[in-house]
Amino acid sequence: MRYTKIDYKEIGYSQLPDNIKNKIAFEEFFSVYLGKNNYILHIMNKTKDTTIEVEYDIEKDKFLARDERKLKVPSDRELIFLEYGIKILVQYYLEEKTDILIEAYQIFSLETLEKIEESQQNYFSMKRSFKDKAKEAYDNQESNKAYLTYNDEQKASYWSRIFYRWMRWEGENGSDDEVEFFQPEVIAKFKKEEPNLDRLMPIILKQLARMWLFDEKEFFDKVNRQLGTSYTNRESMIEIELDFKNIESAEELVLYVRKQLNLPYDNRQGRWDAFRDDFSDLIIQKLPPKDYIYQENDKWGWKDYFDYQECIRMYGDLGPKNSDGEKDDMKLIFQNFNILLKRLPSDTRKFLEVILEWIAKSNIPAKDGEFRNWYRMVICIES
């Protein structure tokens, strides 16, 4: 007679008869399921260093051989769920090394016949019904549709939550370091679900570092060592250099851009603060002469725009000079451009177009062939 799940209930080790206890020590025992005339036991096999499944036949008073158990494996079946638009192919087999009876699912779309997902369960310890499995498959299918519409930030957020749970389980299972979760074979499995995982990993790792309150650089270094990768917490940059030829200050440029973009004016009439508030994600960094340079987080620049203005006033129209009396290049560096692009894509693209258009129209040297006041802006676009 083939196995029928409804015939079994889980019992404790103490409820086993003595003739089985004499053969299976408590230290080796994991779980047992009582049927009408048999016991299904999950025990530790020290030789194989794994959990195996054995069956004790009450009438025959013996443990059944693998070939005897194979005769009792349920027949494969196909289930149709019209309300969910899916078909489930259910297959049963004894696992090769452990003899655990497996119930495997392949779930297909009725409309396209495309495989949606596949999974497997231990037959005897599975509690959910086929109906539940169908509902789960449907929910996953709907979730997958939504995932396909996500941008990289949203996809990274999805995966960072999954990785966070795995890292937490790593710690709960006795590991001294949650980062041990990052193993090449583990990440390879996730890449089957998300082929572009490598592209998302820098964003995922940044989010995980914030979740765990890790030092970001140390976290990246450790993950890279374990995976043999070179993910970086610094975005690669594409630099666009623009020479300012007839706009004498950064504030004039800001006013020009605001006007061209039809950005709202307030009572500050387009002052620097207004621009900074409207584009709060956009870091504007000035590279000053050596006397005014400061360093913060490996970045060089002015402390704020007003320091920049003060330096201009001190050095006059000839532009700032360093301690050696030599004129330094002035730069406005726009960082985090990708963040702004995602938040205000239309305005940001227009911003670039306006700047490039202005450069094309104003490329006229001064009468003496040199520029009395000139600055170079570098737009750093993070890839």
Q: Judge contact between 207 and 163, C-beta under 8 A.
A: no
Q: Who's near 314: CB < 8 A, 6+ residues apart?
A: 320
Residue 69 is predicted with a pLDDT of 95
Mean pLDDT for 364-374 is 36
Torsion angle of alpha carbons 163, 169, 174, 179, nearest 10°? 10
Closest CA to 29 of 66, 54, 61, 62: 54
Residue 54: half-sphere exposure toward Cβ, Cα within 13 Å: 17
**Residue with tokens 């104003």, as numbered in its chain:** 362
Dihedral of alpha carbons 305, 307, 308, 310, sign: positive
Residue 141 has pLDDT above 70, yes or no: no
Least confident stretch, 66-75, 190-199, 234-243, 244-253? 234-243
CA angle (94 as vertex; 89, 99 as ends), nearest 5: 150
Each residue of 23-45: pLDDT tens digit?
A: 888 878 888 889 889 999 989 88
Residue 92 has pLDDT above 90, yes or no: yes
Long-range contacts of 263-269 (CB under 8 A, 24+ apart): 263/347
CA–CA gap between residue 268 and residue 201 (Å, rounded): 42
Residue 295 is predicted with a pLDDT of 42
CA–CA gap between residue 202 and residue 205 (Å, rounded): 5
* pTM exceeds 0.85: no
SS3 24: coil
Residue 57 is predicted with a pLDDT of 93
Residue 280 is predicted with a pLDDT of 43
Q: How confident is the model at residue 288 (pLDDT cuts 50, 70, 90)?
A: very low
Beta bridge partners of 70: none
Q: How confident is the model at residue 126 (pLDDT cuts 50, 70, 90)?
A: low
Residue 176 is predicted with a pLDDT of 66
Residue 271 has pLDDT above 50, yes or no: no
Structure-model confidence comparison of residues 294 and 224, the more confident one? 224
- Token readout for 114 is 């495309």
CA–CA gap between residue 95 and residue 102 (Å, rounded): 7
Residue 63 is predicted with a pLDDT of 94
Q: Judge contact between 364 and 246, C-beta under 8 A.
A: yes
Residue 182 has pLDDT above 70, yes or no: yes
Each residue of 94-111: pLDDT tens digit?
A: 999 899 999 888 888 888
CA–CA gap between residue 326 and residue 345 (Å, rounded): 40
- Going by their DSSP bridges, the two strands 77-81 and 86-94 should be labelled as antiparallel
Residue 359 is predicted with a pLDDT of 46
Dihedral of alpha carbons 265, 266, 268, 272, sign: negative
Dihedral of alpha carbons 60, 62, 64, 68, sign: negative
- Cβ neighbours around 194 below 10 Å, total: 14
- Going by their DSSP bridges, the two strands 29-34 and 38-45 should be labelled as antiparallel
Q: How confident is the model at residue 377 (pLDDT cuts 50, 70, 90)?
A: very low
CA–CA gap between residue 8 and residue 43 (Å, rounded): 17
Closest CA to 261 of 350, 355, 334: 350
- Measured in whole angstroms, how far is the alpha carbon of residue 45 from the centre of its chain? 38
Closest CA to 123 of 33, 30, 217, 254: 33
Beta bridge partners of 118: 106
- Going by their DSSP bridges, the two strands 331-335 and 283-287 should be labelled as antiparallel
